[in-house]
Amino acid sequence: MDKRKVFDTLVRTGIVPVIRTDSTSDAHAVVEALEAGAVGIAEITMTTPGAIDIIDDLVRTRGERLLVGAGTVTDLDRCLKAIAAGARFIVTPTCELEIVRACVQREICVIGGALTPTEVMENWKAGVTAVKVFPASVFGARYLTMLQEPFPHIPLVPTGGITLENLGDYLRAGAAFVGAGGDLVPKAALRDRKFSRITERARLYVSAVKAARGQMTST
């Protein structure tokens, strides 16, 4: 799958689950729960123990139906290891131009982190596929609307503080899709081994995306 198809899949789904766990087994359980809720995307953060091995295993065992990426990528070495393990997209929390350029050279979908207009433009000039606006909840959906005004050609991906309650606001503000962490994959569900709750949350998120986009189409 080339980077354009990867990006199109992310946009079509509307949600990228940001997965942070304390173990490999939990990461697999979360992915299974998300798939059961019709979300076939997994962003494995580099803060997860054994993240590279998890990516490798998910790609080998679920590669036909699961789109696997690496998140919280802050150094080039781990970026290249994640790509070698089969990650189809790379997400950085900050403006990491060395990582962006390495992904561009390898035709890998890369979502570069930014908060300010200057960082948005620096990422775009370096060749990102999209820009991650993080932490989005600091300024809210109105800020995304304001960024869209000078940068209507740049796909923006709000991440950080995304919830079921505000998801629609960000999509209506022009988000290409969103990154969702703790509200989609609650820490309590992991702690209590209640993975069915994650499946339920995934289904609710899918419904919320459809509802928000339906409203956008009808207006």
Positions annotated as catalytic residues are 43, 132
Residue appearing with tokens 């990528």: 73
Measured CA to CA, the distance from residue 169 to residue 49 in angstroms comes to 33
Contact 167, 208 (CB under 8 A): yes
> What spatial distance separates the first Cα and last Cα of the chain, rounded to whole Å?
34
* H or E stretch at 91: strand 89-91
Q: Which amino acid is at 61?
A: T
Measured CA to CA, the distance from residue 113 to residue 133 in angstroms comes to 6
Buried b (16+ CB within 10 A) or exposed e, 146-165: ebeeebeebbbbbbbbbbee
SS (H, E, C) 207-218: HHHHHHHHHHHH
Contact 118, 134 (CB under 8 A): no
Q: What is the CA radius of gyration of the chain?
A: 16
In angstroms, the Cα distances linking 217 to 10, 60, 146, 149, 214 are 19, 38, 21, 20, 5
